Each structure stands twice: as structure tokens, then as C-alpha cells.
Amino acid sequence: MKVPRHWTLSQRLAHYSVHGSAGCILWTAAKLQCGYGVLFWEGRSQYAHRLVWTVANGPIPKGFHILHKCDVPLCINPRHLFLGRHADNMADMVAKGRHVARQGEACGRSKLTETQVRAIYQAPGSLREVAHQFGISRAQVRRIKNRLAWKHLYGTTLERAQAGL
């Protein structure tokens, strides 16, 4: 159902929400692929949870994000929202086990395979020669040989010592 133009922001937010489990109030209108609800308000699309924060608590200070205690992107319950900076959001993500660190070949920007990295580590010759052979920079060869890059391949200090690395 299309809502009347004269409705306030609070009325629109209430209209497009339902009570869910664990105290969440879930957004039922448009959402982005990332899972967050959006509402066209004041001439642009805006995140529903940010609009709810503004209605409940006033303007969002510059440089701050609105974070979810419940980790439900569609939740717009003001009690489940809190202010935080980007670093707070990243720390919250790691603390709750939602961070997936991609290393080595799993990292989308990687030019090398694990086999190539192991070959670079053991390759004789100057940094320039090895870099030319593998099509990478001398700096990257140095990082690999000094075990500053691709660290996950070398295990713990004890494992490296036992392997003669």
C-alpha cells in the first residue's frame, strides 16, 4: 500500500515495520542487497535504521555510524541501535565472529598461488632476478623471503624452526 504524502517520518517508519523475534522491529519495505532497509525521504534514499535513530535521538554526529546490537540489518528498534565510529563497527564485527579474513589465494587481489610463493621463498638469485621471473616487484619478493607477506604459509615459529625455515 502506498502511504499518503502528508504522513510524517515516524508514521512511515511505523507503517513499514513489524515486530519480530528477540525484540527486533523489522523493516518490511525496500531493502538493499546488503540487507539494510531503505526509505526515500527528503529527496533521497536513506537507511531506515539511521532515520529511526534520528527520530528517536536527534541528528547523527558527523563521522558516526549507527550500529546494531542485534546484528539484524533489517532491525529498526531504537533500543537495538547505538552510535559508533567505523573502528567501533569493525571491532564489534570481529568480537562477534562475523569477520572472515581472506588470505593468500582466497584474497581477490592476489597475483600469486601458494605454490609460487613457496618457490619464491626458496628461489636463488637476486631480488631483481626472482621478481622478473615471477612478474612481481622486488619489494614483494623481499616481503615473501622475509616472511612478512603470506605469513599463514609458514605456521608458528616452532613449526618454521622444525621445517628449517
The average confidence (pLDDT) of the chain is 88
Higher pLDDT, 27 or 110: 27
pLDDT band at 159 (very low <50, low <70, confident <90, very high): low
Q: Is the pLDDT higher at 44 or at 148? A: 44
The DSSP annotation for 72-140 comes to -TTB--GGGEEEE-HHHHHHHHHHTT------GGGSTT--S-HHHHHHHHH--S-HHHHHHHHTS-HHH
Per-residue pLDDT tens for 112-142?
A: 888 898 899 899 999 999 999 999 999 999 9
| 9, pLDDT greater than 80 | yes
